[in-house]
Amino acid sequence: MAIIGQRLPVVGAWRAAVLPMALLLAAACGARDLGPESLRQRTALKGATASPVRELERTAFGVRFSWDVSTPRSWVEYRAQLLDEFGPQFSVITSDGASLVLSRRDGGDTYRLELRPVSKEGGQVRVVFFASAG
């Protein structure tokens, strides 16, 4: 038991160090569309603007980022266009009046986009992106 207890921090430290490298490698090897900056740009559909990416949390299991999108569209229109944009690459987990949640597995890694309107009439959308390594 003592050996396992001693190894866990090493594994956690290893994962925390490897995840950013895995994201960079994924970006360099053709999965360029899975990095937070690329996804931020893709969520800023024509006529929309996106705030800078903020890192919210980094753990041994993954990293979580967030940004806001200002769009002239209603939530219904914006969500429909996002489904067109991301539909071929991501699976739809939830798509309703309150949120759009998309997920993708690539090489054992998991990528998840959660989008929620800040107000009922739309115009402002909060995006949370989570990436976790195998």
Q: What is the pLDDT of residues 120-130, one digit of tens each?
A: 777 899 999 99
Domain count, the chain: 1
Position 42: which residue type? R
How many C-beta atoms surround the C-beta of residue 68 within 10 A?
16
Q: Which two three-digit tokens encode residue 80?
A: 């429909």
Residue ranges, the chain, pLDDT below 50: 1-19, 21-30
Note the pLDDT of residue 24.
44
Q: Could you tell me the CA-to-CA distances from 83 to 13, 115, 117 in Å, in that order? A: 36, 11, 15
Strands (E), 9-121: 49-50, 54-58, 62-70, 91-95, 100-106, 109-117
* Domain encompassing residue 20: 2-132
User: How many degrees, rounded to 5, is the angle at CA 54 between CA 51 and CA 58?
Assistant: 160
How many other C-beta atoms are found inside a 10 Å radius of the C-beta of residue 41?
13
Report the percentage of the chain scoring pLDDT > 90.
Answer: 57
pLDDT for the residue 59:
87
Q: What is the pLDDT of residue 30?
A: 43
Q: Is the overall model pTM greater than 0.75, yes or no?
A: no
